[in-house]
Amino acid sequence: MNWKAVLTQYVKTIVESLYQSGLRHVVISPGSRSTPLAYVFAEHPDIQTHIAIDERSASFYALGMAKKSSHPVALLCTSGTAAANYYPAVIEAKYARVPLVVLTADRPHELREVGAPQAIDQTDLYGKHVKWSVDLPQPNDREITNTYLQKTCQKAFVVSQKAPKGPVHLNVPLPEPLIPELPLGFAKVPAYSHSNVGRLFPTDEMITEFMSLLESDKKGLMVVGELSDPQAQGRILELSQKFHLPVLADPLSQLRNPQAESKGTVIESYDTFLRFKERLEALKPDYVIKIGATPVSKPLTQFLQALGEIRYIVIDEGEHRDPIHRATDAWAVNETLLLREVLLLESKGNQNADWLKKWQTLNEKTKSLLEQKSEILPWNEGKAVQSIIRSLPSDSLLFVGNSMPIRDVDTFLHSQVQNLQVLANRGTNGIDGVVSSALGASTLHNQNYLLIGDLSFYHDLNGLLIAQMEEIDITIFVLNNNGGGIFSFLPQSEQPYHFEKLFGTPANLTFEHVVNMYNGYYQKVHNERELEEALQIVHSQGGLKVVEIMTNREENVVIHRELWNSVSQEMIDDE
Amino acid sequence: MNWKAVLTQYVKTIVESLYQSGLRHVVISPGSRSTPLAYVFAEHPDIQTHIAIDERSASFYALGMAKKSSHPVALLCTSGTAAANYYPAVIEAKYARVPLVVLTADRPHELREVGAPQAIDQTDLYGKHVKWSVDLPQPNDREITNTYLQKTCQKAFVVSQKAPKGPVHLNVPLPEPLIPELPLGFAKVPAYSHSNVGRLFPTDEMITEFMSLLESDKKGLMVVGELSDPQAQGRILELSQKFHLPVLADPLSQLRNPQAESKGTVIESYDTFLRFKERLEALKPDYVIKIGATPVSKPLTQFLQALGEIRYIVIDEGEHRDPIHRATDAWAVNETLLLREVLLLESKGNQNADWLKKWQTLNEKTKSLLEQKSEILPWNEGKAVQSIIRSLPSDSLLFVGNSMPIRDVDTFLHSQVQNLQVLANRGTNGIDGVVSSALGASTLHNQNYLLIGDLSFYHDLNGLLIAQMEEIDITIFVLNNNGGGIFSFLPQSEQPYHFEKLFGTPANLTFEHVVNMYNGYYQKVHNERELEEALQIVHSQGGLKVVEIMTNREENVVIHRELWNSVSQEMIDDE
């Protein structure tokens, strides 16, 4: 075979094998060495090709798509530091359990470590932060190479999807010339490398132990973070009703929506009422069932930490997550399957209706007081977040930035009448790549919103080009408090030394210019009335829209504390 | 000791030991976990603290400073993906041999791999791409810990400076609370951890063999890329004069300046005349001495590659760089010391004056034809680059972006009357981080310029915030050909399929808005007259100035080829 035919078969096999395994989206950053793979992806009739120039934004864009779809998305870049720009998103994908297939074009072996341009050592480039990494052979005409490529791509796909899901890395050495036979003329060929992944089924001991706990008179509590398996939601609600378990539902659990809340067991306002130390004793459970990722709320974490040596079961199909070192039982099992098996058994239930009632009452009261008290407070970030949440159309996707926005959403996302899907990058809680991640998720959804702080928005401004090039409809709410708002809640804010320089980070950024650069709609708002007006406009327009919400860092802190204190006071007065 | 005292001593020891070893600059990206170290750096009277929010830009900013000064610069960031954003710059630093001390704050061991927020596995985070990586112990009051920290920081500093210079990584686990005793009140203490690094001295065999080659009648050629040791420049000129060696001097060798050129051995226009296959036979040397990094010019690489089995000596104190696999001799030695030893010996010289003369004549003719022919061509990128080079004040620093700009500079940087320092990121030739790298170098210089393509400028737009926050004087010339201009020179441009989507990358970017965002001066130019006007203005102003130079991608290719062809034709006609 001549070189062109060898090269063509090689890249076609990689792309077709990934397609057969289930790949439907690839994000490509333009470059030279990746040329043959880029061509084949572009030619493939059933793989959607997305272009993003900045590899850092590109990788978070792919992450957002994969997060929204729970399905692997591929990345392709050229050799050199291009591939290193993927590192933050690869790490987020690992810890957030998002499947990615990272394809890095490489120079062939004779150009490695010899001072050749744009050549770095790309083997094991992502170290411990990918689930699997393989350096493919160069294109050649041995038939086994072809078979090996098929099976390796299939394996990469399976590994990325096995719990815990995560990133895999294929390094692809490509000698010149880099032009395959064109056009490729993909025929629909029969599948030869399907992939499919099972889930961990519970042992008999797990089921028996779990049931005996649930049927006992011991007071149980469920703590539910972001779930890898969305089917778990229904089971959690069913189980909690049957056995009177309050469900402390993190905003990312997707259980804070009207339908789930109507079951009566979902508790959403714990981030507020668990701040009141005087009432924690009455809320102490006999056992805790923790499912999913670590919740956002710090008061919840502190509450759980202070429980002492009670039974604490962490259910996790991946490595179990227990940053407070409380787990008495670590059960490596799929949560949906475990709950399903337990619910299939006959049970008399338990006598803990009062226990659940106590949590429900507290929750209802806190929610209504939060609304009521917030109403009379002056303009602040929390109030803006409340207005935004209220205004979102049903079935909106709300992507939330880290640091303050996700905490505000944790405080104020409750009692809404519409259904919302809430996503965030909580694998590593970075402020990087959030714009692009939100855009990735938006590519697969209709009504899209991002709530983000000014520093995080700045960090990924380059992502806005993707919104323009891919013509994505999204509204971005930027909470601009001129700097790292969260630091004002931390102890260093009380130190007089260097605070503004090191932590306040007053960059005096404002974003009208850059939004204009990417042809977006822009509106700056300074108060509730202006925000309401802007909300009217953005909900009725397509394309990129940015609403920049100006707040005051110091005031936000004071008002947040005031709100929690007044809610607390009123609840004590009432008793 | 109480915790605050332990923590304070721990971070103070790290910072003070680095200072004693020679550290004078640190670039800090704001974050929570790094708080105690940030405080100590800010308090230190003799370490300059720079703040940059986006860690990717921050790390290239540090790289630029370290590149300009040949001296280690420190980086500090918080835990999590913040540290991963350093990866592209760390890799560039490794291959470009730039010393960096990377400090990553980490969560303490009990928060690692347990699902804690903003905690990732940071041990060996940069894999093979740092020279040394160490995970420090937690702060404690054992006296040996203090001593260990001193010696470890000292070692890190030494390792980063030993040839080949490069990045080292200190991972610093810090438990809460994170506030040290303030103010720290640094007293000037006596040095206890100086560092100093020797250079590889030649063996007797090297000196003898080198001398016998030089004194023979064999025709020798020196190829000089970017030099790690600037002292080598004078020795190279002296040796080349004494032994009639043409010096093919890459723009980054710093030998293309009036003073070096006055010695008569520097050849700068080889990138043009080595394109003319018909004259290469007469230029074939009997041996080649290659010093420094791989040169930019592709015609030079092809010329060297085609030389066949001649003596080819690569002198390199680090791993020797020889992407064309031509080295017959790989000499691990410091080039300055080797040349110095050879020059100390008595020598009768050789009889090769004609050989040198041939190269000189060709060089002079090519340079004058390039000027002459370019004059009558229509407006294009190359012409803009010529105008810019001509206009720069003496002793300017010109940072050059990868892809087309560095190639244009290679073609047109010659015959200028003023002294220029030319820098570029040629470790891995990435288009990422170039703005920030240029700003870093500019921090330590007075007259600063950056020449960069539109995609590379876009890639590091976030760097512009550094220019604003650090109040740096710089003029940025953006060559905007609406996309990846270099691809138009590659074979894929002749394929009708997907070219614009995959390689042309027409993002239709223009940068007036974003320059306004960072309060810079902006001017767009479309022709020579407008460029000349803009040059008048920017040379007389401080702060951030951006001149966006609009050119046409296809025309640039055609005109470049036309220029080379007409120079070639005229030279043939003349013979």
List the one residue out of A470, A388, A394 whose CA is nearest residue A62. A470
Residues B117, A323: C-beta atoms closer than 8 Å: yes
> Chain A residue closest to B36 (CA)?
A492
pLDDT for A298-334, tens place per residue?
999 999 999 999 999 999 999 999 999 999 999 999 9
Question: CA-CA distance, A65 to A70, in Å (whole number)?
Answer: 8
Average pLDDT, chain A: 93
Q: Which two tokens stand for residue A553?
A: 């860092």
- Give the sign of the dihedral formed by CA B451, CA B454, CA B460, CA B464: positive
8 Å CB contact of A128 and B124: yes
Q: Quick one: pLDDT at residue B485?
A: 58
Cis peptide before B117 (omega within 30 of 0): no
ipTM of the modeled complex: 0.95
DSSP per-residue letters across B357-415 = HHHHHHHHHHHHHHHHHHHHSPS-HHHHHHHHHHHPPTTEEEEE-TTHHHHHHHHH--S
Which candidate in B7, B50, B78, B81 is best for mutational testing of the A interface (most A CBs within 10 A)? B81
Contact: A428, B81; criterion CB under 8 Å: yes
Contact A118 B429 (CB under 8 A): yes
Relative to beta strand B132-135, strand B167-173 is: parallel
CB contact (8 A) between residue B502 and residue A428? no
Task: Determine whether A508 is exposed, middle or buried from the number of CB atoms within 10 Å of its CB (0-12, 13-18, 19+).
Answer: exposed
Per-residue pLDDT, B486: 60
pLDDT tens digits for range A121-140 = 999 999 999 999 999 999 99
**Which parts of chain B register pLDDT below 50?**
none
Both B411 and B543 in one domain: the answer is yes
- Long-range pairs of B150-153 with CB within 8 A, sequence gap ≥ 24: B150/B13, B150/B17, B150/B192, B150/B193, B151/B193, B152/B17, B153/B13, B153/B14, B153/B17, B153/B18, B153/B21, B153/B193
In this structure, is residue B190 part of a structural domain? no
CA-CA distance, B11 to B180, in Å (whole number)?
8
Q: Which of A88, A179, A465 sits opposite B495 (nearest CB)?
A: A179
Single out the residue of B16, B9, B4, B404 nearest to residue B187, CA to CA.
B16
Using a CB–CB cutoff of 8 Å, tell me whether B471 touches chain A.
Answer: no
Probe site for chain B from A81, A92, A324, A487 (most B CB atoms < 10 A) = A81
pLDDT digits (tens, 9 = 90+) for A465-493: 999 999 999 999 999 988 765 666 667 67
CB-closest option in A322, A468, A512 to B115: A322
pLDDT for position A566: 87
Which among A179, A325, A507 is the nearest to B469, CB-wise? A507
Q: Is B517 on the interface with A (CB under 8 A)?
A: yes
CA–CA distances in Å: residue B374 to residues B176, B268, B371, B379, B560: 65, 17, 5, 9, 9
Q: CA of A275 to nearest chain B CA: how many angstroms apart?
A: 20
Residue A428 touches partner B, C-beta closer than 8 Å = yes
Say yes or no: B524 and B435 in one domain: yes
Contacts of A510 in chain B (CB under 8 A): 517
CA gap A410, A415 in Å, rounded: 12
- CATH code of the domain covering residue B436: 3.40.50.970
Question: Is B348 within the bounds of a domain?
Answer: yes
Note whether A25 and A107 are same-domain residues.
Answer: yes
Helix (H) or strand (E) holding A306: none
> Which pLDDT score, from 0 to 100, does residue A184 have?
78
Would the CB atoms of B116 and A294 count as touching at under 8 Å? Answer: yes
The total of structural domains in chain A comes to: 3
A78 domain residue, yes or no: yes
| Residue A368 Cα, gap to closest chain B Cα (Å) | 30
The answer to whether A188 contacts chain B (CB < 8 Å) is no
Chain A partners within 8 Å of B124 (Cβ): 127-128
CB contact under 8 A, B319 and A458: no
Residues of B in contact with A484 (CB under 8 A): 30
Contact list in B for residue A491 (CB cut-off 8 A) is: 177-179
In a domain, B199, yes or no: no
User: B466 to chain A: nearest residue by CA?
Assistant: A507
Q: Take residue B65 and report the two structure tokens written for it.
A: 């400073």
Distance CA A478, CA A473 (A): 16
**B293 → chain A, closest CA residue:** A115
Please say whether the dihedral angle defined by the alpha carbons of residues B128, B129, B132 and B134, taken in this order, is positive or negative.
Answer: negative
pLDDT value at residue B571: 80
* CA proximity to B124, closest of A39, A127, A277: A127
CA contacts within 13 A on the Cβ side of A44: 26
Q: How far apart are CA A202 and CA A474, in angstroms?
A: 41
Choose among A461, A457, A464: nearest CA to A484.
A457
- Write b or e for each residue in A9-45: b if 16 or more Cβ atoms lie within 10 A of its Cβ, otherwise e: bbbbbbbbbbbbbbbbbbbbbbbbbbbbbbbbbbbbe
Given a cut of 60, is residue A288 above it in pLDDT?
Answer: yes
Distances (CA, A) of A38 to A28, A58, A225: 7, 14, 38
- Residue A189: pLDDT band (50, 70, 90) is low
Q: Which pLDDT value is given to residue B283?
A: 95
- Tell me, yes or no, if B322 comes closer than 8 A to chain A by beta carbon: yes
**Which chain A residues have a beta carbon less than 8 Å from that of B497?**
39, 42-43, 182-183
| Contact (Cβ atoms closer than 8 angstroms) between residue A456 and residue A482 | no
Closest to B404 measured CA to CA, from B525, B305, B566, B551: B551
- Whether B457 and chain A come into contact, CB under 8 Å, resolves to no
Last residue of a domain, one of B335, B362, B389: B362
A contact residues 138-167, partner B, Cβ 8 Å cutoff: none
- Residue B368's closest CA among B335, B414, B324, B328? B414
Contacts with A338 (C-beta within 8 Å, 6 or more apart), sequence order: A202, A206, A207, A210, A315, A331
At residue A68, the pLDDT reads 97
Pair (A394, A540) in one structural domain? yes
| Residue A133 to residue B385: CA distance in whole angstroms | 43
pTM for the whole structure:
0.96
The side-by-side arrangement of strands in the sheet containing A48-51 is A48-51, A25-28, A73-77, A100-106, A167-173, A132-135
CA–CA min distance B488, chain A (Å): 11
CB within 8 Å of A71: residues ≥ 6 apart: A22, A24, A99
* Contact between A513 and B516 using a beta-carbon 8 Å cutoff: yes
Alpha-carbon gap: B296 to the closest alpha carbon of chain A (Å): 9
Query: In this predicted structure, which of A239-248, A557-566, B74-83 has the lowest mean pLDDT?
Result: A557-566
Distance from CA of A321 to the nearest CA of B (A): 4
CB contact under 8 A, B81 and A56: no
The Cα A15–Cα B496 span in angstroms is: 21
**Chain A residues within an 8 Å CB radius of B486:** 32
Does any CB of chain B come closer than 8 Å to the CB of residue A527?
no
Contacts A486 to B, Cβ<8 Å: 32
Q: Does B314 touch chain A (CB under 8 A)?
A: no
Q: Alpha carbon A317 to chain centroid distance?
A: 17
Assigned token pair, A319: 């490595």
Q: Cβ of B461 and A465 within 8 Å?
A: no
| Helix, strand, coil share (%) of chain A residues, nearest 5 | 45, 15, 40
Number of A:B CB contacts under 8 A? Answer: 249
Whether B368 maps to a domain, the answer reads no
Is B482 within the bounds of a domain?
yes
Residue showing tokens 């390689």: B503
Question: In which element (H, E) is residue A401 found?
Answer: none
Mean pLDDT along residues A96-117: 95
CB-based contact A471:A478 (threshold 8 Å): no
* Pair (B382, B358) in one structural domain: no
Interface test with B, best of A37, A48, A50, A53 (most B CBs within 10 A): A53
Residue B322 Cα, gap to closest chain A Cα (Å): 5
The alpha carbon of residue B492 is apart from the nearest alpha carbon of chain A, in Å, by 7
Compute and round to an integer the Cα radius of gyration of chain A. Answer: 25
Q: Is B497 at the interface with chain A, CB within 8 A?
A: yes
Residue B168 CA to residue B152 CA, distance in Å, equals 11
A214 and A161 co-located in one domain: no
Shared-domain flag, residues A214 and A345: yes
Give the end of a domain, one of A357, A391, A424: A357
Domain that holds residue B99: 3-173
Whole-number pLDDT of residue B190: 55
Residue A200 backbone phi and psi in degrees, to 5: -70, 125
Query: Which of A327, A357, A387 is where one domain is finished?
Result: A357
- Whichever domain contains B227, its CATH number is 3.40.50.1220
Examine the domain organization and report whether A424 and A519 are in the same domain: yes
Query: Do residues B124 and B267 share a domain?
Result: no
Q: Residue B308: CA atoms inside 13 Å, Cβ hemisphere, count?
A: 4
Locate the chain B residue with the closest alpha carbon to A37.
B502
- Check whether residue A426 and residue A569 sit in a common domain: yes
3-class secondary structure, B266 = strand
Question: Which residues in A lie closer than 8 A to residue B505 (C-beta atoms)?
Answer: 30, 51, 53
| pLDDT tens digit sequence for B275-285 | 988 888 999 99
Chain A hits for B462, CB-CB cut-off 8 Å, are 458-459, 461-462
B30 vs A38, A433, A484: nearest CB: A484
Q: How far is A492 from chain B (nearest CA, A)?
A: 7
Residue B194 lies inside a defined structural domain of this protein: no
Q: Are residues A158 and A22 in the same domain?
A: yes
Decide if A182 is inside a domain.
no
Contact between residue B236 and residue B224 where contact means Cβ atoms under 8 Å apart: yes
Is it true that the peptide bond before A246 is cis, omega within 30 degrees of 0? no
Mark yes or no for CB contact B492/A43 under 8 Å.
Answer: no
- For residues A420 and A229, give the distance between their C-alpha atoms in angstroms, rounded to a whole number: 18
Domain identity same for A395 and A333: no
Q: State whether B120 and A509 contact (CB < 8 Å).
A: no
